[in-house]
């Protein structure tokens, strides 16, 4: 990839050639870099034309990406007071070093006038072990919640899933196969409950509609009325979920 340093009135961009691209397009990375993807035989000048034509969009999305990155960089260290929203409840994460061979997570719940809060005390020898056991705990919590929600919603929607997998899917929050198997990202446990419910409903609806037809969306919205809000939340908080344990 070649970094282009244009005239002062335009943002800097990088050109990437793709044999699969049929037309030129612009993307803004999570860290605010502008990448112009060009078909293999497209003239290099197409990149500047595209950036100039979409300059307001580019600058807006670069600013948004940098603002998101600034918010993430301002978080407390993961094991020293960072707060994770687990199923809608704020959990303060604290690492307690220990000489014990077996790492563990201890959760304590509390409530006050502001609602329910919790502390996740991670007992482990070092930070690496603490992070591993924390992820294991979150994955188990995600499986429990997702299994419960699927079992609750599937009969109402008239579908019968066969298996549920919980993975660290990077490109999609959930997926469904024709045979009835469902797969979800464990990171959904860090989203508000209505967001997790929407993703569950979305994938269950695919067991009746393999596409995203009007019938599909009507079914989803009938059982998850906050669908549009949930989609906006996931777009706005994608980076935070993906870097939650960084």
> pTM value?
0.81
For residue 199, CA distances in Å to 138, 167, 175, 188, 194 come to 18, 14, 9, 9, 9
The percent of residues above 70 in pLDDT, for the chain, comes to 97
- The residue ranges of every structural domain in the chain are 2-73, 80-242
pLDDT tens profile 66-100: 988 888 888 899 999 899 999 999 999 999 999 98
What was the pLDDT predicted at 94? 96
* DSSP characters over the chain: -EEE---TTS--EEEEEESS-SS-EEEE-TTS-EEEEEETTS-THHHHHHHHHTHHHHHHHHHHHHHHHHHHHTSPPTTEEEEEEETTEEEEEEEEE---SS-EEEEEEEEETTEEEEEEEEEESSHHHHHHHHHHHHHHHHHHHHHHHHHHHHHHHT----EEEEE--SS-SEEE-TTSEEEEEGGGGGS-HHHHHHHHHHHHHTTT-SS--HHHHHHHHHH-TTHHHHHHHHHHHHHHHHTTT-
pLDDT in tens, the chain (246 residues): 566 656 667 888 889 999 988 999 999 998 899 999 999 989 989 999 999 999 999 999 999 889 888 888 888 999 998 999 999 999 999 999 999 889 999 999 988 777 889 999 999 999 999 999 999 999 999 999 999 999 999 999 999 999 999 999 888 999 999 899 999 999 999 999 999 999 999 999 999 999 999 999 999 999 999 999 999 999 989 989 999 999
**Chain mean pLDDT for the chain:** 93
Instruction: Specify which residues 182 forms β-bridges with.
Output: 164, 176
What was the pLDDT predicted at 2? 61
What was the pLDDT predicted at 31? 86
Q: Can you tell me which residue has the tokens 């609750």?
A: 152
User: Domain spanning 80-242 has what CATH number?
Assistant: 3.30.2010.10
């Amino acid at each position: 990839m070649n970094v282009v340093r244009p005239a002062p009135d335009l943002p800097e961009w990088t050109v990437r050639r793709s044999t699969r691209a049929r037309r030129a397009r612009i993307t803004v990375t999570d860290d605010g870099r502008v990448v112009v993807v060009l078909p293999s035989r497209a003239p290099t000048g197409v990149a500047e034309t595209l950036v100039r034509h979409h300059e307001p969009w580019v600058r807006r999305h670069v600013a948004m990406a940098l603002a998101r990155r600034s918010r993430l960089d301002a978080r407390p260290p993961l094991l020293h007071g960072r707060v994770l929203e687990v199923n809608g409840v704020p959990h303060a994460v604290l690492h307690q070093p220990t000489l014990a061979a077996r790492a563990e997570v201890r959760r304590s719940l509390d409530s006050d006038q502001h609602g329910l809060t919790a502390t996740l005390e991670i007992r482990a020898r070092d930070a690496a072990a603490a992070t591993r056991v924390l992820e294991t705990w979150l994955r188990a919590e995600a499986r429990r919640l997702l299994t419960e929600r699927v079992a609750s919603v599937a009969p109402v929607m008239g579908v019968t899933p066969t298996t549920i997998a919980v993975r660290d899917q990077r490109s999609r929050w959930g997926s469904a196969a024709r045979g009835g198997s469902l797969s979800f990202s464990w990171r959904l446990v860090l989203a508000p409950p209505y967001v997790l419910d929407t993703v569950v409903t979305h994938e269950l609806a695919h067991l009746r509609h393999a596409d995203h037809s009007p019938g599909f969306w009507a079914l989803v919205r009938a059982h998850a009325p906050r669908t549009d809000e949930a989609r906006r939340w996931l777009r706005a908080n994608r980076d935070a979920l993906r870097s939650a344990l960084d």
